[in-house]
Amino acid sequence: MKKNAKFFVLISVLGCSTIYENRRNEFDHAQELISKNKIDEAREILRAICKQDFGAGCSVEGALSQKNKEKDFLKFYEKGCHLKDGLGCYGLASVHYRLHEGEKFKKYIKLSCEYGFTEACRSIGQLFENRLELNSK
């Protein structure tokens, strides 16, 4: 690989890392605003970073939208899950559980655990204790 190509790859990796770090900082700021009950300000940030494909922002916006009984909450959970954020998948699993849609529930609860959302892993453990089968066909 030529020196210029190596330099370009290094700059690209560093650039992606910086972009992620900026979104992470914005997300942390939104979480802080939520803890101070400044929900509207937090939601502006969450929607902005969701548009930039930061999955956690989408998932938390989905949770806030659902809490406010807004109709568009599913799209935020779906995007969060698609971006491999466990909370988004967990939100979808919860919805499908309440709708008695077992196969979709199983799919999303498993994804949520795979993506590191520990509450989903605990839920799977409880399902096994109750002898409910999670294996997809």
Domain assignment of residue 125, yes or no: yes
Question: H or E segment at 113?
Answer: helix 102-114
Question: Does 8 have pLDDT greater than 50?
Answer: no
Domain assignment of residue 17, yes or no: yes
Per the structure, the complete domain to which residue 23 belongs is given by 3-129
Domain assignment of residue 15, yes or no: yes
Domain assignment of residue 135, yes or no: no
> pTM for the complete prediction?
0.80
The pair of three-digit structure tokens given for residue 42, joined into one six-digit string: 């937090």
Report the distance separating Cα 59 and Cα 46, nearest Å.
Answer: 9
Domain assignment of residue 137, yes or no: no
Closest of 67, 65, 57, 66 to residue 29, by C-alpha: 57
User: CA-based diameter of the chain, in Å?
Assistant: 59
Domains in the chain, number: 1
Closest of 106, 136, 101 to residue 124, by C-alpha: 106
The answer to whether residues 114 and 88 touch, using CB atoms and an 8 Å cutoff, is no
Closest of 106, 96, 57 to residue 80, by C-alpha: 57
What would the mean pLDDT of 118-134 be, rounded to a whole number? 79
Question: Does 12 have pLDDT greater than 90?
Answer: no
pLDDT band at 14 (very low <50, low <70, confident <90, very high): very low
The answer to whether residues 120 and 131 touch, using CB atoms and an 8 Å cutoff, is no
Report the distance separating Cα 68 and Cα 75, nearest Å.
Answer: 15
What would the mean pLDDT of 35-43 be, rounded to a whole number? 96
User: How high is the pLDDT of residue 129?
Assistant: 77
Question: Does 57 have pLDDT greater than 90?
Answer: yes
What would the mean pLDDT of 40-69 be, rounded to a whole number? 96
pLDDT digits (tens, 9 = 90+) for 78-116: 999 999 999 999 999 999 999 999 999 999 999 999 999
Domain assignment of residue 60, yes or no: yes
User: How high is the pLDDT of residue 44?
Assistant: 97
CATH number at residue 97: 1.25.40.10
Question: Does 76 have pLDDT greater than 50?
Answer: yes
User: How high is the pLDDT of residue 124?
Assistant: 87
Classify residue 130 by burial, with Cβ atoms within 10 Å: 0-12, 13-18, 19+: exposed
Domain assignment of residue 136, yes or no: no
Report the distance separating Cα 86 and Cα 95, nearest Å.
Answer: 14
Domain assignment of residue 134, yes or no: no
User: How high is the pLDDT of residue 56?
Assistant: 95
